[in-house]
Structure 1
Amino acid sequence: MQTLHIQLENRSYPIYIGEGLLSQIKLIEPHLKQKHVAIVTNTTVAPLYLDPLLTLLKEHGIKAFPIILPDGESYKNQETLNLIYDVLLKEKCERTVTLIALGGGVIGDMTGYAAATYLRGVPFIQIPTTLLSQVDSSVGGKTGINHPMGKNMIGAFYQPQCVIADIDTLKTLPQREFSAGMAEVIKYGLIRDEAFFNWLEKNIEGLIKLNPSLLIEAIQRSCQNKADVVEMDEHESGVRATLNLGHTFGHAIENAMGYGVWLHGEAVATGMVMAAHLSKLMGWVKDNEFNRIVKLLKEAKLPIDPPKITEDQYMALMSMDKKVVDGKIRLVLQKGIGDSVITSDYDSKHLKTTLQNSNFSV
């Protein structure tokens, strides 16, 4: 097992990464205020992992009850969030209750936001069961829900007590979901870690085949990259925004197509290609670097080309992005592989060219 630590003074917490972690009570029990737990999960994950976790907790004298939500990005909204509050209130939960998020990014984001707001704040634990949530959404304290006008527009920064990333859960992931997670893994190499990008190029085949040692290393290096950024900028006032490489384009794709039609990682992958293309037009990314980016994403079985969305649709949806300042759309662009910049200083003609391009395949 690998253990990392997010260092945020009194909000610091460990990230555990390894095999067989869901059966280890020693990773959970020290992070409970009292022996009272609500496990928030969904209809897909519950049949796989809920009963063993309930049994483990009850065997150690911990009162635990489930809250099972419908599965999918389309349910990441206020109506579904209220289902969590309903059960917590019905169970007469006090501030000593701990919420456990057992699932992917949607469950983690919603559970975290429920924890941040129920009784003005109760503790929670992240147990991410998808690659995307293990390397990205479970780490760093971003929580929230979607609004019909924009993704993740309602939420709070609220750190978990710990993160438990058990790679055994990846064995039950559909290939499409695993690939969606690889988009966020590749992102870290692109924004700040060229050596990691090079390592991914060499090991992508083994990762796709779920080689355990490679998976643990990829997750550990991804989480370390995110931890380093979060420690510098917990509330995204500066450098943390680089973690959104591809997300401004990607969120527009998710919204335009309808939440859940494109997986978040799929939209981010295409968004990263669009960001790299715009960076290439700006003279910041070389042709061979662009080709390497596209090749690695393809090898990870991710989409490269965006759906057919009009330029006006893109601009309208991108203008709702959280990084917009004084009405200007700020984008995360690249100055090569392993180097990124947040800027609104780009040529609008080049942006238009990128938005009108529906074929980036090389």
Structure 2
Amino acid sequence: MTGTPPTPEPRGAETPVDASIAHAGEAGILARILPGLPASAAVEVGPGDDAAVVRLASRRLVVTTDTLMEGSDFLMHATRPAWIGAKAAVQNLADVAAMGARPEALVVAVSAPASTRTEVLEEISAALAARAARDGAVVVGGDLGTGPVLSVTVTALGSLPDGAAPIERSGARPDDVLAIGAPVLGRSGAGLAWILAGRADDPVAADAVAWHDAPDPDLALGWTAARRPDGTPVATAMLDVSDGLVRDGGRLARASGVVLDLDAGSLTRDAEALEPLAEPLGADPWAWVLHGGEEHAMLATFPSGTVPDGFRRIGTVREAAGDERAGLVLLDGAPVRGEGFDHFA
């Protein structure tokens, strides 16, 4: 792990009107948020104008966007504003990193009910900017508006070195090694389970809840360990685990036309580490390891014998055999029960 989620003051989004965004107004809110954003020599024009102007490190732009929405992606009673900001940054930075690219800038759009405390937006903004800065990116602008629930949409911009190939999902080949850039899988799934059980404040689950609300994977693996110093990829394929190991592994396998076979022995320690959290809920820790989403760790394939530091081997890549279909994810050669997260399921 590369750090711990920020731990601000107690939770909550709403307060009397005289301390709300309705009272402060858009100009007042922006005046309180924007001065806290870090500056960068690469930003020619930052927040406060019609659009930002950013000098990219190369001519090759990598772009991604994602939204966190109250009720669907987080529950205000079970999170903290700073965790929302950190998570919004991570889920977008991870997509840039998974292409083997280096993050450079973020644009953020926030909608919130008029009764939301201005301090909530300040904490979200500060944490988002701080988490982005850890990976060398800066917040260069965005939008602020009202809506029925709190939502944070981030567009992340990154760059690929000139001449360096992106690391796509489609490059895995038979006999490659499957590896994950995380010491433990399933923490986010465990935290979500405790939140949904109404036990988000239980000290037993504090670390897991914090990891779900603000996952903190080592994203730099995507543009460092997965590449050689000359910019050529070490990884043959890569993505981040956002919807679960099996579901996202299946996406990589389908794009590459291969089968992934997870090694149960390599994942047993993950399940064992989560057993103290699973037992009180009557849950199966293997479900969190295999299907827990929002880890955002790098899942990559490498030529056999070349797994770099920061990654650990969890399986192998092989051709589909017999009546197997490409895209299948197995566990010690057997089909895996259950599926990961699906927004429309």
TM over 0.5: no
Higher helix fraction: Structure 1 or Structure 2?
Answer: 1
Comparing both structures, which one devotes a greater share of its residues to strand? 2
Please tell me the TM-score bracket, short chain as reference: 0.3 to 0.5
Identify the structure with bigger relative contact order (alpha carbons < 8 Å, sequence gap 6+): 2
